[in-house]
Structure 1
Amino acid sequence: MLNSFPCWNDKPADSACFFMYILALALCMNACSPAKNDPVTFMAIGDVPYHLPEDFERFERLIGALNEEGPDLTLHVGDIKSGSTPCTDEYYEKIKGYFDTFSHPLVYTPGDNEWTDCYREACGGYEPEERLDKLRQLFFSTESSQGKFPIELNRQNSLEGFEKFPENAHWKMAEVTFGTLHLIGSNNNFKLDSGALNDEFYERELANNFWLQRLFEQAEASASKGLVLVLHAALNYNSRDERNGHASFVQLLQEKVMAFGKPVLLLYGDHHRFMVDQPLRDNTGKTLTNFTAVQVFGDWDMHAVRVSISPDYLNLFRVEPFYISGN
């Protein structure tokens, strides 16, 4: 206690004693304040819940564990259902209710199972783009994230010509720019049969590529220390394959990562296996070491990935599995 400091009494303090008191006060305040470089932590999940109804209990256990852990943010990288369960309004509303039980902000980007696969009989025989419209209305109709304490997001639909794409968003946290992009499995809904028009694909491809470029511009303009990209698809990195629905995005991603130079972290789902990789190469075939891709758990493995951000880390991001007891 300061009252026990040796020079502290009812008489005016001499200059030496006053200096010692101020020094002690400063040391106390510094010790009691959080360290400037304490890491900011967020969780990444995806491709859950799949197996119904038993997975609801496991999903609740996952949410409870994350709430107890208390990260600054959770990201859901898409696929809020399996590709063989009904795509009903009631189910989407149930998941929205679950998202709102997170005690911290939750940001979600769509996967393919919740709209492109909904034409299947087991899913209810819906028209996929109608289901996508429903997702946009339910999950992306405000400027805020999900969760009990949402954060404000900058959505792409605020820009002229991109009014259809509220799911693409960006925000900043811990001197890092974050952004969601609507790239999905099922070849990004790029259909290869000769009669396919692919209007939906081409429009969304244009929006995603524009948004990717804008995210790097935002990161540069705000002097961000790094960039986090959030999408669903396990990207096909063969940008020369004309049948690849991810080709133009991957080519642009390579160019932007090379020019940016700072750490870029890509979080995705789709194949349900925790994996950390550095799949991007420069034009000579050399690994782009400032780019790291992390695939989250999913399906039967209902766990999370914990990411910590600190300038003290060699590559800004520290990635580790976060296992949920009982799952």
Structure 2
Amino acid sequence: MKSIKNNLRYILTALLLSVSCLALAPANANVIRFVTLGDMPYRLADEALFANLITEINRTNPAFTIFVGDTKSGGSPCTNEYLESIWKSFNRFESPLIYTPGDNEWTDCHRPSAGSFDPEERLRFIRQLYFQNSNSLGKKPLRLIRQADIDPEHKLFVENAYWVSGTTLFATVHVVGSNNNFENASEYAMRNRANLAWLDYVVKVAQDRVLDHLVIAMQADLFYSPEQATSPKSGLRDTIARLNQLLSKWNKPALIIHGDSHQLIIDQPFKHPGTKRVIERAYRIQVMGDHQ
């Protein structure tokens, strides 16, 4: 019975979120059914459950799946073998699998329990393995437009990508937990500049193409503490401020998807800059994650 409950928990974690986004669309819009999930599998015992989840997602035949980072726990080993095993799992998805990295895959790999790796070396390995070309993962990959391919100033950032489905622009941006690796000043500064430029760019693309909806996926929980929006020591402050600015001007339905804190949240935390007024058509979904 426990095994059955665990399987159902993993299935619901992903599939309920694939439907919740449809509230953004007007009644006469073309509906895009997609799955979003993250923060799994966290332990060896869960790998079979994750395999069952992939089978169930394949059965539902979504347009694509977005994985918002954390393919392991922060304390488990960051070995090549483990990262390669997840890469193989992602390629078992029948439809496209779009992945944005989490902190557990690289920023936290310096921990002794994770193998005392150099986080930046782990990030390089992830980029080489998961982002070999401009196609997504999955058996039927989707061609992505990547920041690295169109912005010479940020040619390292193969993980930042966008694609358009119907009248919706989808994008990934590499913002992670563990305070977005803020304590590593040089790495953070470079990636933060790239991320802010990418957010500006994808919103402009959506505006120029007169698209109706905007979906942006990342790993970090931007709102786990109010201080993240204000503290000079916050690695998420710039991202929050830029999203508030861009979503306020966008003024159309928008959805920010992330993981990190392992609790299902659907709310409207974005505010018009300099005010406490909620940006009415901007929502966020935090996926449930491991064993929720």
TM-score by shorter chain over 0.5: yes
Structure 2, unpaired ranges of 5+:
1-27
TM-superposed deviation, 1:288: 0.7
TM-superposed deviation, 1:80: 0.7
CA distance in 2, matches of 1:247, 1:265: 19
Match of 1:205 in 2: 192
Structure 2 residue identity aligned to 1:207 = A
Structure 1 residue identity aligned to 2:161 = A
Match of 1:42 in 2: 34
Structure 1, unpaired ranges of 5+:
1-35, 192-196, 302-327
Match of 2:173 in 1: 181
TM-superposed deviation, 1:37: 4.5
TM-superposed deviation, 1:284: 2.7
Q: Percent identity?
A: 38
Q: Deviations over 1:147-202 (max 9, x none)?
A: 000000011111211111000001101210111000000000112xxxxx610000
Instruction: Give the counterpart of 2:88 among 86, 97, 102.
Output: 97
Compare CA radii of gyration and give the structure with the larger one: 1
Structure 1 residue identity aligned to 2:77 = P
1:121 aligns to 2:108 (yes or no): no
* Superposition misfits of 4+ residues, deviation over 4 angstroms: none
Counterparts of 1:241-280 in structure 2, within 5 Å, are 241-280=231-270
- Secondary structure of 2:109 counterpart: helix
TM-score under structure 1 normalisation? 0.78
- Secondary structure of 1:229 counterpart: strand
Structure 2 residue identity aligned to 1:51 = R
Number of equivalent positions: 261
Higher helix residue share: 2
Match of 1:82 in 2: 73
Match of 1:11 in 2: none
CA distance in 1, matches of 2:131, 2:280: 34
TM-superposed deviation, 1:240: 2.6
CA distance in 2, matches of 1:47, 1:239: 23
- Secondary structure of 2:123 counterpart: helix
Kept after mapping to 1: 8 A contact 2:30/2:166 = no
- Secondary structure of 1:143 counterpart: coil
CA distance in 1, matches of 2:249, 2:275: 15
1:289 aligns to 2:276 (yes or no): no
Q: Deviations over 1:10-47 (max 9, x none)?
A: xxxxxxxxxxxxxxxxxxxxxxxxxx845220000000
1:171 aligns to 2:158 (yes or no): no
Match of 2:100 in 1: 109
CA distance in 2, matches of 1:84, 1:249: 26
Root-mean-square deviation (CA, aligned residues, Å) is 1.4
CA distance in 2, matches of 1:232, 1:250: 13
Match of 1:319 in 2: none
- Secondary structure of 1:116 counterpart: coil
| Alpha-carbon distance change, 37 to 227 in structure 1, aligned in 2, over 3 angstroms | closer
TM-superposed deviation, 1:281: 1.5
Structure 2 residue identity aligned to 1:218 = V
Q: Deviations over 1:227-272 (max 9, x none)?
A: 1000000004643321111111111111111111111100000011
Q: Deviations over 1:96-152 (max 9, x none)?
A: 110011010000000000001111111111000000000000001201000000000
